[in-house]
Amino acid sequence: MWLKNKKVNILEKSIEKLSNMLQEGNYVEWSYLLGNKKEIIKRNLLAGIARGVGIGIGVTIITAILVILLQKIVTLNIPVIGEYIADIVEIVERSR
């Protein structure tokens, strides 16, 4: 009886160790994705759309902030820099 309990205990520890290794390596998720091609396509499509929208919004916000900062620098009337930045702002506004 004692030998049987010891073997069961060793088996339980091995199963728990294997389960932890699978969870840490995300092997369960990988095996699911490798078996289902439609799921891979759906996930990648949604991820691509999200990245594209995020990049578009981010670039728009950063460009708007830069244009506003450049306009404020122009109003400070710094001789050389002000003229150069005024030309840049004018080019950006004409391209709208």
Q: Domain spans of the chain?
A: 53-96
Percent of the chain clearing pLDDT 90 (strictly above)? 22
Strands (E), 17-80: none
Return the pLDDT at 33. 67
What does the pLDDT look like over 5-37, one tens digit per residue?
778 888 888 888 888 877 777 766 777 667 778
- Tell me how crowded residue 71 is: count the other CB atoms within 10 A of its CB: 14
Average pLDDT, the chain: 82
**Does residue 54 register a pLDDT over 90?**
yes
On the CB side of 7, CA atoms within 13 Å amount to 4
pTM of the model: 0.49
User: What pLDDT score was predicted for residue 60?
Assistant: 95
Most confidently modeled of 33-37, 47-51, 91-95?
47-51
